[in-house]
Amino acid sequence: MDLTDLQNRIVIEVARTVPVSAWERIVADVEIAEHDDGYQLDAVSFAIARDADGALSDPQFDLSTDARAAIVDLYKQRKAAGDVLGGFELQIDQPGTYAFHFSYDPPKRLNGIWDKAKEERLDQYLDHYRREKAGA
C-alpha cells in the first residue's frame, strides 16, 4: 500500500470508531514507538459533535484495533521509505475531508515528556473550534 492508501484506511477506521453519528470534526493525536516486542501507541482522540438542540460537545473515544493496526502499517511504510514516524495529528471534517500533520520527532507522551502547550491545545480544542466556526 502506498501512503495515500494507508492514510485513507486510517481515516476510515478512525471514523468508524467515533461513538456519535452527528460529528462535525474528528481529531486524533497519535504517537507511536517501535520496541523489540512490538509497537506502542498513545492516542488522544475525540469528536466535535452537535446534539439535537445544537449544543457542541467533544466526546473522547479509544481507537479501534483496526485503526491501531492501520497506524502500525503506516509506521512500517514510512520506516521502509527512510522516515521514522513519531506520530501525527489527524483532523477529519464532514463530509470526509482530512489532513494529517506528521511528526518525525521522538514521541513525547510515550517517552514521559509533558508537552504543556499540546496538552492545553487538545484540552481546549472545543473552545478553539467554537471560535473557528464563529469567525467563518
Flag whether pLDDT at 1 surpasses 90: no
Enumerate domains of the chain plus CATH numbers: 3-135 (3.30.500.20)
DSSP string for 83-127:
----EEEEEEETTTEEEEEEE-SPPTGGGT---HHHHHHHHTHHH
pLDDT score of 113 = 95
Per residue in 18-42, pLDDT tens? 999 899 999 999 999 999 999 999 9
Per residue in 71-117, pLDDT tens? 999 999 999 999 999 999 999 999 989 999 999 999 999 999 999 99
How big is the chain by its Cα radius of gyration, in Å? 15
**Average of pLDDT values for 109-135?**
94
pLDDT score of 136 = 64
In angstroms, rounded to a whole number, what is the distance separating the alpha carbons of residues 61 and 28? 10
Per residue in 37-82, pLDDT tens? 999 999 999 999 998 898 999 999 999 999 999 999 999 999 999 9
pLDDT score of 52 = 86
pLDDT score of 8 = 97
In angstroms, rounded to a whole number, what is the distance separating the alpha carbons of residues 28 and 67? 11
